[in-house]
């Protein structure tokens, strides 16, 4: 689904570095989400946003921050990366009906 894109697709960084993962969508959806996926743990919600002025913490927001620059763009930042943030990160958008979510291709992050 090319309507939701994520950059970079792969990233290796070192402990203590600040990094940003970006998500863009052309679906025109107001709702956007960031998840992380770890083996055996499923998908866990980090942050979500229902419009550019609405940011909400999810289940596991500690160590992360987000920015909703525009309706189409939602960025996730790791202020000071640590090894246990090594994971696969997915952005998703919310469509219609309101609960339906569409995922981006994912960013694989390795923190050394």
Partner 1 sequence: GENVEQHPSTLSVQEGDSAVIKCTYSDSASNYFPWYKQELGKRPQLIIDIRSNVGEKKDQRIAVTLNKTAKHFSLHITETQPEDSAVYFCAAENSGYSTLTFGKGTMLLVSP
Interface contacts to partner 1, rule CB under 8 A: 1, 31, 33, 40-45, 48, 50, 58-59, 90, 94, 97-106
Q: What are the Cα distances from residue 55, in Å, to 2, 33, 66, 71, 112?
A: 25, 10, 8, 12, 29
Closest to partner 1 by CB, 39 or 70: 39
Angle at 70 between CA 102 and CA 57, to 5 degrees: 65
| Cβ 85 to partner 1 shortest distance, Å | 19
| Cβ 15 to partner 1 shortest distance, Å | 26
| Cβ 18 to partner 1 shortest distance, Å | 26
R_g of the chain, CA atoms, integer Å: 13
Closest to partner 1 by CB, 41 or 82: 41
* CA–CA separation, 88 and 86 (whole Å): 7
Closest to partner 1 by CB, 14 or 98: 98
């Amino acid at each position: 689904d090319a309507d939701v894109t994520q950059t970079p697709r792969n990233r290796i960084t070192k402990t203590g570095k600040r990094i940003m993962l970006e998500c863009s969508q052309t679906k025109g959806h107001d709702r956007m989400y960031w998840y992380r996926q770890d083996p055996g743990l499923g998908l866990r919600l980090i942050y979500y946003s229902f419009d550019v002025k609405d940011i909400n913490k999810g289940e596991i927001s500690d160590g992360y921050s987000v920015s909703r620059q525009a309706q189409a763009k939602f960025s996730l930042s790791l202020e000071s990366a640590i090894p246990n943030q090594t994971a696969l990160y997915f952005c998703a958008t919310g469509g219609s009906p309101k609960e339906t979510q569409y995922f981006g291709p994912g960013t694989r992050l390795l923190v050394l």
